[in-house]
Amino acid sequence: MPARRPSWPDPPPHPSGARPPAIAPDLLPRHVAIVMDGNGRWANSRGLPRTEGHRAGEAALMDVLFGAMEIGVPVVSAYAFSTENWRRSPDEVRFLMGFNKDVIRRRRDELNGYGVRIRWAGRRPRLWRSVISQLEDAEQFTERNDRLTLQFCVNYGGRAEVVDATRRLAELAAAGKIDPAKIDEKMFARYLDEPDLPDVDLFVRTSGEQRTSNFLLWQSAYAELMFLDTPWPDFDRRHFWAACASYASRDRRFGAAIDASSSHADARNASSSSSHAGARDADASSPGGAS
């Protein structure tokens, strides 16, 4: 098992020489979720089979991870295969199963070398044993890395995750191990796939579709949503940085609100008080003022 390192090597620079924007650390998203959409359409528009779009998407993911390291985002979740993707053609499902397995096998050592911790979220049933083996091996091999966490979501669905957590809580309640009356949001969240990861701050989907597609539903309750027209194979760290910069400029209130009329009234009162104080000071200091 790799030992924790005091520092990690710099990721390779972008070919353009682009550098990340200067964003205060407290304004960066802690967790960015990405729906890597548009691989098949990207390939078809070039007269290529859909599978070539998935291959091109691998390079895009690596570049985004390098960009996350450079700008300082600590967690990235990538939607690699959903519980609904089993509905695709058998040939594409077989390709995606083998491709995801190969990506993890090929990239595990490279990601480990840059300090990336790999986590897997998703269901075991139906997933190829060889895929599960590669994911579990990558989790164990990189578990002490602390530079960036990549949550690789394979055979994952947001509703399935909520149902699975509910089932576990129901089993514990039926066994008398927990009191149903004490189940709250905090307790429920502990039974999700990766409960120690922060909630999603920024949710990005590429290729023009504007829906969340059952991805990290619980964790994204208050995420800032960004839907971009760029297909995933053309997406790189520069797009990722631009999304982070846009996120940094947004006003996140988490259900709270500011009464604009009250704020304006407070500002007018403060201005009036300042004016009156200034007048009193002027009177006191003038020759005709009170002594």
Task: Report how far apart, in Å, the C-alpha atoms of 28 and of each of 22, 32, 67, 173, 240 are.
Answer: 10, 10, 13, 39, 12
Q: Is 37 a catalytic residue?
A: yes
- Classified as helix, coil or strand, 35 is strand
Q: How far is residue 80's CA from residue 78's CA, in Å, rounded to a whole number?
A: 6
Are 121 and 82 in contact, with CB atoms under 8 Å apart? no
Annotated catalytic residue, options 10, 85, 112, 234: 85
Q: Is 109 a catalytic residue?
A: no
Annotated catalytic residue, options 37, 193, 201, 236: 37
Beta bridge partners of 117: 149
- Classified as helix, coil or strand, 154 is strand
Q: Residues 6 or more apart from 249 whose CB is under 8 A from it?
A: none
Q: Which residues are catalytic?
A: 37, 85
